[in-house]
Amino acid sequence: MLKVLSFLKSYKKPIYIALLLMFVELFVELLSPLFIAKIIDEGILKNDLSVVLIWGGIMVGLSLVGFAAGIINSFYSAHVSQSFGYDVRKSLFDKVQSFSFANLNRFPTSSLITRLTNDVTQIQVLVFMALRIAARAPLLVIGGVVMALIVNWRLALILVVAMPLLLLFMVWLMSKGVKLFRAVQEKLDAVNSVMRENLSGMRLIKAFLRKKHEQERFAKTNHELKDETVTALRLIELTMPVLLLVMNLSILVILWFGSAQVNANQANVGEIVALINYATRIMFAFSVFSFILMGFARAKASSARISEVLDVEVDLTDGEGSLLKESTVRGNIQFDQVSFKYPNTDEKVLKEISFDVRASETVAILGATGSGKSSLFQLIPRLYDVNSGAIYLDHQNVKTMKLEFLRKQIGYVPQEARLFSGTVKENICWGKENATMDEIVEAAKAAQIHETIVNLPQQYETILGQRGVNLSGGQKQRLSIARALIRKPKILLLDDSTSALDLQTEAKILEAIKKQSCTTFIITQKISTVMVADNILLLEDGMIVANGKHNDLMKKSPLYQKIYASQHHEEVVGHG
Ligand SMILES: Nc1ncnc2c1ncn2[C@@H]1O[C@H](COP(=O)(O)OP(=O)(O)OP(=O)(O)O)[C@@H](O)[C@H]1O
């Protein structure tokens, strides 16, 4: 909790002002019963109107001061709590951005979303309450008891006995609350997760007629969230009856002994009225206090979840820096005995991979599904780190380079073309900020998407729907290729990103890429694409089983011959 609350450090001044104003409000509140006692005993009972008017006037004046203090306190509390929430969210977002994939795998996406939104809100609410009323409640209790002792110490002892009992009850309540609210937040994660999967997989759900199944799945998680929340709220509901019982009993006892004291002339009626007044204020303060304690329990559960994210040690660290200069990077890539397994798994998905690619060459990677092609790609921009061996860019180990420097040299087109909401132009520029219109058009032309774009209603300014739903699969692929090409990368990684394109369009794109003279890695299933590559890596079970040019492989690799034959509908016999 302290770690998250340390974000409040930047707001010391407004916090002090808010607390000061809260004390002003409290002061006014605590003095009021004293004035009432004075008005009754010295004004009403003695028929002295001037005393009533003077002390009544002072009371009204002070109330106005308290009122103004309350309003200004609200302004400051809102400002501090909102700014605090902004800072925590920003910090969480930055942290998640710095995560490696191994780090990301620790948290389900939906849970990260809940942590960034709902969990931050819980703490934000607590901070607001703390500045607005939190300290007031316990101080009102303590102050109320002290004032009651001053007015009539014997009767006030009844309150002194009742308070610790209530306090113990509150402590018990809070310890239970933290656990229950943590469970509530976890159930909220689950609801968000189902919701997220449904929204992103809506087409599939409709096509597979899985609406009912999904509704049931959602109903189940929703139910669990409701049940968990009800359990937590029951705990809070328990507070008021217990509070009322203890305090009403105390008031009864005060009235009983108070009337005896008045009859014996040991106390004034005003004193008894003041004591009852303090008792009801204390009871009110206690109910506020219990409300805050619940808020605290909830915020404590949430802050633990936030700290879990903030405390993650990012396992992909930046290298010292590159000896290479951006302008002199050529794009030679060397894999030296590279082995890799995904974090928290046992099996190596790449085993002792070694190959050399000279700058500007095109390398095709061919292999069955699950053979490790995408995994190999992800190692080049260091989305994951190798477990053994090394990858070199222009003879320098990529691990020693600054991540930003390394990734700047690389254009990556992933398997699934993912676009962002915004215009076509913004989507292409996403690859290079401040790109000129000429550069954008050039990249679009190279990716063979320019013609399509100029036929859109607002050409490059056309707004794409959520994740580009108004473009076809092939158009999306070409747009994401344009996004990579605009960077003028030294190394281009195409992860099966031409799968939805016809052979002619694909050939044109490859030709345009060739002109950019960048080292190009293409994962593809199409033998026609493979045939024009300078080198072909044939992957099987995470190992390179053959490499060379098309003609070499046709001679020496039975697997390659089989793939070739399957795509050319002919039996290949006797090669090799
Ligand atoms: N994030 C991950 N965590 C754990 N294992 C993974 C992860 N991603 C992939 N794998 C495993 O690594 C192996 C290689 O996967 P990879 O995606 O590299 O294959 P691929 O050759 O690109 O397949 P495809 O052609 O189907 O895309 C598979 O066995 C897969 O189950």
Could you give the angle at the alpha carbon of 407 between the alpha carbons of 405 and 409, nearest 5°? 80
Q: What is the mean pLDDT of residues 506-527?
A: 85
What was the pLDDT predicted at 563? 81
Residue nearest to atom 17 of ligand 1 (CA): 374
- Give, in order, the Cα–Cα distances in Å from 87 to each of 117, 124, 317, 507: 12, 11, 24, 49
- 110-127 pLDDT per residue, tens: 889 989 999 999 999 999
Residue nearest to atom 25 of ligand 1 (CA): 369
d(CA 87, CA 120): 10
What was the pLDDT predicted at 73? 92
Residue nearest to atom 7 of ligand 1 (CA): 342
Does the C-beta of 349 come closer than 6 Å to ligand 1? yes
Asked if residue 33 has pLDDT above 90, the reply is no
Asked if residue 326 has pLDDT above 70, the reply is no
What was the pLDDT predicted at 576? 37
What was the pLDDT predicted at 469? 52
- 363 confidence band (pLDDT: 50, 70, 90): very high
Taking a C-beta distance cutoff of 8 angstroms, is the pair 102, 343 a contact? yes
What was the pLDDT predicted at 143? 84
Comparing 18 with 102, which gets the higher pLDDT? 18
The preferred substitution site among 344, 373, 384, 416 for testing ligand 1, maximizing ligand atoms within 8 Å of CB, is: 373
Comparing 469 with 489, which gets the higher pLDDT? 489
- 170 confidence band (pLDDT: 50, 70, 90): confident
Pick from 416, 352, 406: nearest CA to 380: 406
Q: What is the helix (H) or strand (E) element at residue 411, kind and residue range? A: strand 410-413
User: Closest ligand 1 atom, CA of 542?
Assistant: 14
Q: What is the mean pLDDT of residues 514-520?
A: 85
Comparing 169 with 469, which gets the higher pLDDT? 169
What is the identity of the amino acid at 458? Q
- 267 confidence band (pLDDT: 50, 70, 90): confident
SS3 of 155-177: the string is: HHHHHHHHHHHHHHHHHHHHHHH
What was the pLDDT predicted at 115? 92
Asked if residue 520 has pLDDT above 50, the reply is yes
Residue nearest to atom 12 of ligand 1 (CA): 349
Asked if residue 356 has pLDDT above 60, the reply is yes
**Structural domains of the chain in order of their starting residue, each with its CATH number:** 2-310 (1.20.1560.10), 323-409+489-576 (3.40.50.300), 419-488 (3.40.50.300)
**40 contact partners, CB below 8 Å, separation of at least 6:** 268, 269, 270, 273
- 570 confidence band (pLDDT: 50, 70, 90): very low
What was the pLDDT predicted at 572? 42
Asked if residue 18 has pLDDT above 60, the reply is yes
d(CA 309, CA 324): 34
Asked if residue 411 has pLDDT above 70, the reply is yes
Residue 518: exposure state from Cβ atoms within 10 A (0-12, 13-18, ≥19)? buried
Comparing 296 with 224, which gets the higher pLDDT? 224
- 497 confidence band (pLDDT: 50, 70, 90): confident
Q: How far is the CA of 526 from the centre of ligand 1 (A)?
A: 19
Asked if residue 317 has pLDDT above 80, the reply is no
Q: What is the mean pLDDT of residues 194-204?
A: 83
The least confident of 277-281, 296-300, 465-469, 523-527 is 465-469
Does the C-beta of 416 come closer than 6 Å to ligand 1? no
- 270-291 pLDDT per residue, tens: 888 888 888 888 888 888 888 8
- Structural tokens at position 352: 């002792």
Asked if residue 465 has pLDDT above 90, the reply is no
The least confident of 5-14, 349-358, 552-561 is 552-561
Q: What percent of the chain has pLDDT over 90?
A: 22
Asked if residue 573 has pLDDT above 60, the reply is no
In 99-210, which ranges are continuous DSSP H helix? 101-104, 109-114, 120-129, 136-151, 153-200, 202-207
Q: How far is the CA of 370 from the centre of ligand 1 (A)?
A: 5
d(CA 147, CA 159): 11
Mean pLDDT value across the chain? 85
Q: What is the helix (H) or strand (E) element at residue 482, kind and residue range? A: helix 473-485
The least confident of 8-17, 64-73, 471-480 is 471-480
Q: What percent of the chain has pLDDT over 70?
A: 96
Does the C-beta of 344 come closer than 6 Å to ligand 1? no
The least confident of 82-96, 224-238, 320-334, 412-426 is 320-334
Asked if residue 503 has pLDDT above 80, the reply is no
Residue nearest to atom 4 of ligand 1 (CA): 342
What was the pLDDT predicted at 337? 92
- Structural tokens at position 417: 């073309």
Does the C-beta of 378 come closer than 6 Å to ligand 1? no
- 571 confidence band (pLDDT: 50, 70, 90): very low
ipTM of this complex prediction, to 2 decimal places = 0.95
Q: In the chain, how long is the greatest CA-to-CA distance?
A: 125
Taking a C-beta distance cutoff of 8 angstroms, is the pair 45, 270 a contact? yes
Residue nearest to atom 31 of ligand 1 (CA): 370
Q: Render the burial of 48-83: b for 16+ CB within 10 Å, e for the rest.
A: eeebbeebbeebeebeeebeebbeebeebbebbbeb
Q: How far is the CA of 426 from the centre of ligand 1 (A)?
A: 31
Half-sphere exposure of 537 (CA within 13 A, CB side): 26
- 421-450 pLDDT per residue, tens: 788 888 888 877 888 888 888 888 888 888
Comparing 344 with 437, which gets the higher pLDDT? 437
Q: How far is the CA of 364 from the centre of ligand 1 (A)?
A: 18
What was the pLDDT predicted at 574? 41
- 32 confidence band (pLDDT: 50, 70, 90): confident
Does the C-beta of 374 come closer than 6 Å to ligand 1? yes
User: Closest ligand 1 atom, CA of 539?
Assistant: 21
- Structural tokens at position 453: 């774009």
